[in-house]
Structure 1
Amino acid sequence: MDTIDRQIIQILREDARKPVTLIAEVLGLSRLTIQKRIKSLEEQDVIRGYTVRTGANYETEEFRAHVLVEVKTNLNQGLLGFLKSFPEVNTIHSLAGRFDANIMLEAESSERLDKLLAKILQHPEVISTETCILLATKLDRLPITY
């Protein structure tokens, strides 16, 4: 991956629907070159997919939270499968430090968020959690995929 690939990725992060011809124009390259580079980045799993970034009007309707999780042993497949079974779980990241995982949740109500947190705490591998409820997005350069 070189500087041009990184520039293509940055442009697509800002607007995944930007036409290839405009990307080519910005970078001073041909449309065919940009198409080949994007295809190569997709094949290498550098670009994994394209997504929708929601705006403030959508986000204010949802309760979003980061949940830091401390587990007994490690973030094993059983616990990952359990967490993935909840459609409200958007991302799971392993961490170095006091906590072992960071889970991004998005629920339709505070009551639903409370129920999810209670279920997570009931899992036998979970020792403790710490929840940070997101109030407002002040900067959003990337989709929340971490």
Structure 2
Amino acid sequence: MDDVDRQLIALLRDNAREPVVTLARKLRVARATVQNRMARLERDGTIVGYTVRLKPEAESHRIRAMMGIEVAGAHGDAVRKLLRGHANVVALHSTNGRWDLIAELRADTLEAFDKVLNAIRNIDGIESTETSILLSTQKA
């Protein structure tokens, strides 16, 4: 991947529906160059899909939170597998420092959120958690 690929990906992250001709103009390359690069990035698995970003208040899951998770010893793979399959876990990140994993959680109500927290805390192999509810988003 070169600088043009990285710039193209940055533009697509900002607006994946940007017309190819506009992308080409912003990158100062030919339209065919953009099309070929996008096709190659998709083919080699660098770009695995395109998505829609909604403003937070438009989402049905009103309650959003970040949960730091400490995993016991050799339970990492099993815990990650269960969390990836959990409907309320929208993103899962491995990290260094205090927490082994950071999970982004979403739920419709506080009652549902409480159930999500309890279900995750009861997963075998999770030592401890700390959750912070997201109150507002400054940049998406």
Structure 1 and Structure 2 fold alike (TM over 0.5): yes
The answer for the alignment partner of 2:10 in structure 1 is 10
The answer for the alignment partner of 1:103 in structure 2 is 103
Moved over 6 A (4+): none
Aligned: 1:54 with 2:54:
yes
Which secondary structure state, in structure 2, belongs to the residue aligned with residue 48 of structure 1?
coil
The answer for the alignment partner of 2:36 in structure 1 is 36
Looking at structure 2, the residues matched to 132 and 12 of structure 1 have their Cα atoms a distance apart, in angstroms, of 30
Which secondary structure state, in structure 1, belongs to the residue aligned with residue 73 of structure 2?
coil
The answer for the alignment partner of 1:67 in structure 2 is 67
CA RMSD of aligned residues (A): 1.6
Displacement of 1:63: 0.4
Any gaps of 5 or more consecutive residues in structure 1?
Answer: 141-146
Looking at structure 2, the residues matched to 100 and 138 of structure 1 have their Cα atoms a distance apart, in angstroms, of 26
Displacement of 1:85: 2.7
The answer for the alignment partner of 1:84 in structure 2 is 84
The answer for the alignment partner of 2:132 in structure 1 is 132
What letter is aligned with 1:14? D
Q: What is the total number of aligned residue pairs between the two structures?
A: 140
What letter is aligned with 1:84? R
Any gaps of 5 or more consecutive residues in structure 2?
Answer: none
Note closer, same or farther for the CA distance 1:106–1:30 as it changes in structure 2 (3 Å cut).
same
Note closer, same or farther for the CA distance 1:136–1:28 as it changes in structure 2 (3 Å cut).
same
Contact 1:62/1:108, CA 8 A, preserved across alignment: yes
Q: Name the stretch that deviates more: 1-10 or 51-60.
A: 51-60
Looking at structure 2, the residues matched to 71 and 3 of structure 1 have their Cα atoms a distance apart, in angstroms, of 38
Displacement of 1:61: 5.3
What TM-score does the superposition give when structure 2 sets the normalisation length? 0.92
What TM-score does the superposition give when structure 1 sets the normalisation length? 0.88
Q: Deviations over 1:82-137 (max 9, x none)?
A: 21232111111111112110001111111111111111111120111000100000
Contact 2:91/2:103, CA 8 A, preserved across alignment: yes
